[in-house]
Amino acid sequence: MAEPKNLNDLLYETLKDIYFAEKQILSALPKMAEAAQSPDLKEAFETHEGQTETHVARLEEVFELIGKPVQQKTCNAILGIIEEGKEVMADFEGTDALDAGLLAGAQAVEHYEISRYGTMVTWAKRLGMDEVADLLAQTLDEEEITDQLLSEIAETTVNAEAAAA
């Protein structure tokens, strides 16, 4: 009979999920940067692409620290958010509302990541995995900063330009 699953197992499953998500985000960000009309939004997407590469490397380090193989598990949530972003790019291409839609999609991604990383930091601390918690917290901090930057871009330019059109 199989042993019952525990918090260690849940952490590992969630790591596989967010690893998949980060890889998907890495593929989507260049397309979003290319589609963005606002120079600030384009720059934010390009900067976050570099950060996301670091997030992937950190996750690989976490897998090593917990002694588990680096694996991906399909994350239907991120696939849905990315699909919505593709629809926005297609439906609003060439319009003043495109950047507002891209930005909203990017924030949906950030909020998903903030939720996942926050949860994993809490679990890692509970499990006494301080080094794992520290690595995940670094990424959490970066995701929160990106979300704040996107909010600032939305509030100062992108939404106003979309509304004025």
Distance between CA atoms of residues 52 and 162, nearest Å: 28
**Residue range 54-101, pLDDT digits in tens:** 999 999 999 999 999 999 999 999 999 999 999 999 999 999 899 999
8 Å CB contact between 103 and 158 = yes
- Reading the block at residue 143, the tokens are 């995701």
Distance between CA atoms of residues 98 and 128, nearest Å: 45
**% of residues, the chain, pLDDT over 70:** 100
Domains of the chain, first to last: 7-164 (1.20.1260.10)
Tell me which amino acid residue 141 is.
D
Distance between CA atoms of residues 106 and 86, nearest Å: 11
